[in-house]
Amino acid sequence: MTGRDPFLQANGTMKNLLGIESAGELAVAEADYAAARTVQMREGSAPAATRGNFDLAHLKAIHRHLFGDVYEWAGTTRAEPLTIEGRTVGQPPLLMKGTTTFEAGNRVNARLEAAFDRLRAENSLQGLSREEFSQRAANLFIQINNAHPFREGNGRTQREFMLQLAEQAGHPLNFDPISQERMIVASYDGIQGEGSTMRRLFDEISNPDRVAVLERGVQYLEGARQHGARWEEMYVATTTPGREYNGQLAAKGEGFFVMASEGDVLVGHPQDLPEGHGRNVTVKATEFPSEGGGVQIGLGRDLDY
């Protein structure tokens, strides 16, 4: 890309409606506004366009509602004409984050329209078992993320879109105990054509019994911050029934244990720990015991992946 990026101020901070010049201050303000707008959507007081149709217009409406207080281009994809500060400007043809290059801007809308046409043909994933829903929903999430239709705010927009889709399909999701590192890994794998990481993630966050155990493990890890540990920067997942794990036990509490295995942090149920175990353990994971109730939907953290 040549020339100045039309989205950025001279100091590199995103141009915004709030007149903020510090990137740090902008990130805080953006998070606060988006969190408030998220509450409106979940309470049903947001514009009707932010719910229900599960098409490109719906996705754009969610983005516009979440970020319209901060960016005048909110709700505009990378394939569409862009107005910033009263001027129509050309959008960069490519979007890169780190070493990852997303879909070319001029192909974004067509790719998403095709994905949403398939979704409509599949009755918005209604009438499926939880397992089948989680796999198809993960594949859709990968397709939307690979397109990365907006310059900023893709992660939060995708998450709200998927939460609504899951609620309507009868299989609620909970992204709250998913670490930033895990989402980054799953998203990167999806871009590389490997969808199993994201499908595992969706299988977990659609399963209320696994989510309950994962949340207990995350609460323990949150408490470990005083020792310098940041669970958001770790790959944290639940054990997969039928698999065997070797590693070091970090903690055991009521209804959960946490262990380190092959560079990951795994959360499982104490029923799988061997009798008389020490710090080094071998765990054969079994099905998580049913605790009743549904998956709790929280606001989540203000992260984009």
DSSP 23-50: HHHHHHHHHHHHHHHHHHHHHT-S-GGG
Distance CA 178, CA 105 (A): 29
Segments of the chain with pLDDT less than 50: 1-2, 294, 296-303, 305
CATH superfamily to which 23-173 belongs: Fido-like domain (1.10.3290.10)
Residue-wise pLDDT tens digits, 40-74: 999 999 999 999 799 999 999 999 999 999 999 99
Q: What is the CATH code for 225-284?
A: 2.40.50.140
Distance CA 95, CA 109 (A): 14
Q: Residue written as tokens 């590199």?
A: 12
At 284 the pLDDT is 97
At 3 the pLDDT is 60
Distance of CA 42 to the CA centre of its chain: 17
Q: Where in the chain is the domain with CATH 2.40.50.140?
A: 225-284
Rounded to 10°, the helix 208-223/196-205 angle is 90
Q: Which two tokens stand for residue 146?
A: 């690979």
Residue-wise pLDDT tens digits, 95-107: 988 888 899 999 9
At 293 the pLDDT is 53
- For the entire predicted model, the pTM comes to 0.91
CA-to-CA dists, residue 41 to 4, 27, 199, angstroms: 35, 21, 26
At 90 the pLDDT is 82
At 297 the pLDDT is 47
At 299 the pLDDT is 44
Q: Where in the chain is the domain with CATH 1.10.3290.10?
A: 23-173
At 87 the pLDDT is 87
At 302 the pLDDT is 43
At 303 the pLDDT is 45
Rounded to 10°, the helix 154-169/130-147 angle is 160
At 136 the pLDDT is 98
At 83 the pLDDT is 86
Distance CA 123, CA 132 (A): 13
